[in-house]
Chains A and B, each alone.
Chain A
Amino acid sequence: MSAPFYVSPEQWYQDKAEYARKGIARGKPIVALEYDSGVVIMAENRSATLRKISEIYDRIAFGGVGKLDEYENLRKAGVRYADMRGYSFSREDVAGKSLANEYSTVLGSVFTREMKSLEVEVLVVEILDKGCAFYQIRYDGSMTDATHYAAIGGDGDKLLDQIRGGWSAGISLRDAARLGRRALAGSGNGASIDDLDERNLEIAILDRTRRGRTFKRVSAEESRALLSG
């Protein structure tokens, strides 16, 4: 039996990271912005049925970029995790932070142990009693958090620069959605702003004014009204 070729761990991780980054860079980004009564989450998405943004629990939403089957599996695992915790404790005890930690653990352990890392980036959005929280988990399990807005996929710095320039506390849903569209169009990875309309934007909100499950998809008609003018 021949010995396997030696590859230094450093080289191995670098290769895996590069592989993951390449995969993720091909996908379209997601932005999420706090507005006066919730959070709006947006992505360019030409499919009407395959979703990048979904509901996890009463006050928690999920966004995934990269390989669809991989973030879809992460999403489902998150729903199971959240529902199980809500069932064994109470609905109020399901927190975005613990879910984000689970994602971080899974992505991190796949990155270190498996041949192929997951080519995804995950965003966990949560509205809290006051304000909201955004947890961004990268392919290697590293996690960052933000308080007012966040972006995953695409050119993150560019997206955040755009949002930073236009966002202010107490911004309306309409202004937040239009700012989100500007940021997505300016990320250099997708369609131009004139192309980004209700037909190829996926928009969802976590709406504080709703009781219980606050997640709501914004329909095409509602999106048109929101973005027009």
Chain B
Amino acid sequence: MKIKSLSVPLLVCWLTAFVFIPLLIIVIASFLEQGEFSLFQFTFTLENYKELFSPLFLKILIRSITIGFTVTFLCLIVALPFCFLVVKSRIKLLLLLLIIIPFWTSSLIRTYALIALLKSHGLINTILLKLHLISTPLNLLYTNTAVMIGLVYNLLPFMILPLYAAMERFDFKLIDAAKDLGANSAKIIFKVLIPSIMPGIISGCILVLLPAMTLFYIPSILGGARSILLGNLIQQQVYVLENLPQGAASSMILTILLLLLMLFYKQQSRGQP
């Protein structure tokens, strides 16, 4: 029965050794040179970070950020009214379960499932052609649009669940109070509802924005040559070019972005239960 009494130290050691230390190694490796025979050699350099400002990299970074923020924004504006309706619904447990199921199922499979819809002879084009809304099939698959559809499709539940949790804690009497005091709908939404559920909104944005930039298989399945995102770049640096220090430096951008978002979260959730 040793395992029982050792469970806490074991858990702490496990997380330190296999989660914390690997994350620390990324920081260190991003300052090291690529080795000729090994993966890296212990010479300090800032070259990996300089490389991040090369035109090619900047282009991919800007595209990733644009697509990432667009996807996050789309998820948010869909999820906000949706959660509002679900929280007030009488069958909310069932409605929630139907969101949880895609949350846990393989996003690889769900991405693959989109191909049949987006193909030039796929479901969407067939329906649009039948309805005579278009005369030639739309070019959807292997474009940035397809990548964005794929990302929203995969990440929407990640926005809905934290938003829903935040809205469930929201006191809807506040809306009645605001109405009594003569606030219009816009004021109620932007001055009462949104500020109270801000922590939920930020958690949702963190859970959508970072995966949107890093789920490399979505652009590689649905996108074309011009839809490479940060995640694909890191995958190629590490897996194809075997330049781990460069890959580590690219991952640091994501880490910094994550830390900034978390600081924002801390600041916003101060003074809330």
Note whether A and B form a binding pair: no
CB within 8 Å of A: which residues of B?
A: none
